[in-house]
Homo-oligomer: A and B are copies of this chain.
Amino acid sequence: MSVDGFVAGPDQDVEHPLGVGGLKLHDWTFATRTFRDIHGMSDGDTGVDGDLVSGGFSGIGATIMGRNMFGPVRGPWEDDAWTGWWGETPPFGHSVFVLTHHPRPDLEMAGGTTFHVVTAGIDAALARARHAAAGADVRIGGGAAIIREFLRAGLIDDMHVAVVPVVLGRGERIFVDLEDLPSKYRSEELVSTAMAAHIRLVRIAEPRA
């Protein structure tokens, strides 16, 4: 997240998966060993930033994401050409549930990732992801709108916010219209490097039944 509260830049398109300027929000991850391993590069830093990136992948059995995180296509799927931002072998290695209003067949990729489109909302996506994860954790990947919807429903147990020394001016925010956040979440564990300040939000109230 930028200092001014944006987790992605504006004007997402095929050239700007994270919106214009949004890539800067992720600079802190690019030097870490986990990121470089995933992308077939050697070396890379460990330490606080690296631990948080690897922690975000460790023990995850399924991922949920919104339509914009999956791709730039809006409205109904014209064809099956779009297979995600991640090329032939996405880095997930498990089932990924993509929330959209427009159905589409499952998409099995190399490396163990299958994209499943879910049109029935966040509860349905979570139920399917929990089943697929078989006891492992479910990660809510993003974007902003999906994370906000899950936060509002109190369905996130543990959230990692990385604040970076960047101003974006425009883009996507998570923290709007979340007035009762303090009744559901407490914030803890501020740790930081020169590239990012990491804050963890942990749910205090019980999830809804």
Contacts and interface: CB of A to CB of B under 8 A. Distances in A.
Contacts of A143: none
Nearest to A166: B187
Contacts of A185: 167
A190 interface: yes
Most central of A2, A4, A170 by chain B CB within 10 Å:
A4
Interface stretch (A59-67, A75-83, A110-118, A195-203): A195-203
B194 A165 contact: no
Interface stretch (A99-107, A125-133, A174-182): A174-182
Contact of A179 (B170, B189, B196, B201): B170
B161 A186 contact: no
A176 to B, nearest CB: 8
A175 B21 contact: no
A195 to B, nearest CB: 7
A163 interface: yes
B187 A179 contact: no
A168 B182 contact: yes
Nearest to A190: B165
Contact of A197 (B167, B175, B192): B192
Contacts of A175: 3-5
29 contacts: A3-B161, A3-B163, A3-B187, A3-B199, A3-B201, A4-B175, A4-B178, A4-B181, A5-B5, A163-B163, A163-B197, A164-B190, A165-B187, A165-B190, A167-B181, A167-B182, A167-B186, A167-B187, A168-B181, A169-B179, A169-B180, A169-B181, A190-B192, A190-B193, A190-B194, A190-B196, A190-B197, A191-B192, A192-B197
